[in-house]
Amino acid sequence: MIRLPEYIGVSAFGIKIGVVVPGSDIVRMTYDALAKCDDDGLLDSGDTVCITESVVARAQNNYVTVDDVAKEARKQLKIGPSDRLGVVFPILSRNRFWLVLKGLARAVPKGEVVVQLSHPTDEVGNPILPKGFAKKLGKDDSDIITLEEAGSERLRHPVTAVDYVDLYTSTITEEGAKATIFFSNDPIKITEANVDAVVVANVHNREETKQTLAPIISRCITLQSMCNTPPGAWSEWGLLGSNMSSGDRLKLAPRNSDELAEHIQAEIMQKLGKNIEVLVFGDGAYHDPSTGIYELADPKPAFGMTRGLSGRYREGLKYKYLVDEMWYGGIDIPDIENALLTKKKEPIDRQAASTEGTTPRRIEDVIASLADLVIGSADAGTPIVLVKGM
């Protein structure tokens, strides 16, 4: 038995389950992995089992093609091959947006795609222009900055060195459409390009952007509206949270993740007698201090979860404050320890000095971010993370 000693606090373990392909029984594979954990004394009631959205969507065969994206754009926006399509505030990402843009361009192969980029970074912090560049030109951030005005000041990605203006331009022109790209933080500026329809492509502020544009441009949708209903592959998140797959395929975010989480929870309770919580996670809410990039390109860290996690916050007492207060008040260590145990059982007062600096955070966001950091996004081969003691 490998049961953890009681002096171990919050811990998270990556769990290997083997290769997941379309049609895999992800519920069964998760149960088998947790049964091994249970045999080794690693699974307890109160644990949270996190499953990355990637393997859930793959098991669901939740893939669309670039042709599907083009067809969806034509259908929803009622655009033809020669129309002018606006794309507002896309993030700068090969994995997250490149194939989506390819599909949008394929919808108007004889027309034009006008891309409006925010600056100095995209929504999640990927840089595109130097800070203060608009002011250097004598402009406001809401004014249009053309590619000619940006010139050699345009930035490449700080880690991958990709030039996203070049990539997005070539992606559009390779589909036969004309490419126009400019910079402005005012979404209404897209209307100056006389576009026939608009796709709002930002992730977290999509509804705000759409509300600004919808009264002016009647044919205006967000990425969430595309590929979000059956038949075929679909997700309630649409193209939000999608990832580049092989060839011209995009893997959508998983669908019905709450139901899957409840199913796994019930399976574990019935067969192993353990009352666990289950969470399907995507990107963690990690802000890279080196590059300034905010890694959350998914619409939220958790795509689904069991009901026991919903609406809960991670919060507690500020031990270092309480220990200092009691120690300098002349209380000895055994009495401090007993006092801390007593206080921990009392209701939390979010405005008290004893909780100052311990900002409550939604438990689903904290656990999803922890799980994402544990598995990484490369070759760890551990799509399940077992979180204990949270």
Average pLDDT for 118-134:
96
Average pLDDT over residues 111-131: 97
Report the pLDDT value the prediction gives residue 322, as an integer from 0 to 100: 80
Q: Which CATH architecture has domain 11-61+254-314+362-388?
A: 2-Layer Sandwich (3.30)
Give yes or no for residue 358 having a pLDDT over 80: no
- Which tens digits make up the pLDDT trace of 320-339? 878 888 888 888 888 888 88
pTM surpassing 0.85?
A: yes
Helix, strand or coil, per DSSP, at residue 167: helix
Distance from C-alpha of 257 to C-alpha of 104, rounded to nearest angstrom: 27
Other beta carbons within 10 angstroms of residue 314's beta carbon come to: 16
Where is pLDDT greater, at 25 or 341? 25
More confident residue, 53 or 332: 53
Q: What is the pLDDT of residues 213-252, one digit of tens each?
A: 999 999 999 999 999 999 999 999 999 999 999 899 999 9
Residue 307 has pLDDT above 60, yes or no: yes
Please determine, for residue 257, whether its predicted confidence score (pLDDT) is greater than 80: yes
Strands, E, within the chain: which ranges?
A: 11-15, 48-52, 63-65, 84-88, 112-117, 145-146, 178-183, 197-200, 220-222, 243-244, 249-251, 277-281, 302-305, 313-314, 361-362, 384-388
pLDDT of residue 330: 86
Q: What is the pLDDT of residue 360?
A: 73
Name which of 29-38, 82-91, 367-376 the model is least confident about: 367-376
Distance CA 84, CA 90 (A): 17
Query: How confident is the model over 154-195, as pLDDT tens digits?
Result: 999 998 999 999 999 999 999 999 999 999 999 999 999 999
Domain locations in the chain as residue ranges: 11-61+254-314+362-388, 63-251, 319-355
Q: What is the mean pLDDT of residues 17-24?
A: 93
Q: What is the mean pLDDT of residues 197-205?
A: 97
Confidence of residue 14 (pLDDT cuts 50, 70, 90): very high
Architecture of domain 63-251 in CATH?
Answer: 3-Layer(aba) Sandwich (3.40)
d(CA 218, CA 191): 11
Element (H, E) at 337: helix 333-344
CA distances from 236 to 23, 60, 114 (A): 20, 14, 27
**Which whole number is the average pLDDT over 40-53?**
95
pLDDT greater than 50 at residue 354: no
351 has a pLDDT exceeding 60 = no
Please state, in angstroms and rounded to a whole number, the distance separating the CA atoms of residues 3 and 61: 36
- Residue 31 confidence (pLDDT) above 90: yes
Q: What is the DSSP string of 177-214?
A: -EEEEEE-S-GGGGGGGT-SEEEE--STTHHHHHHHHT
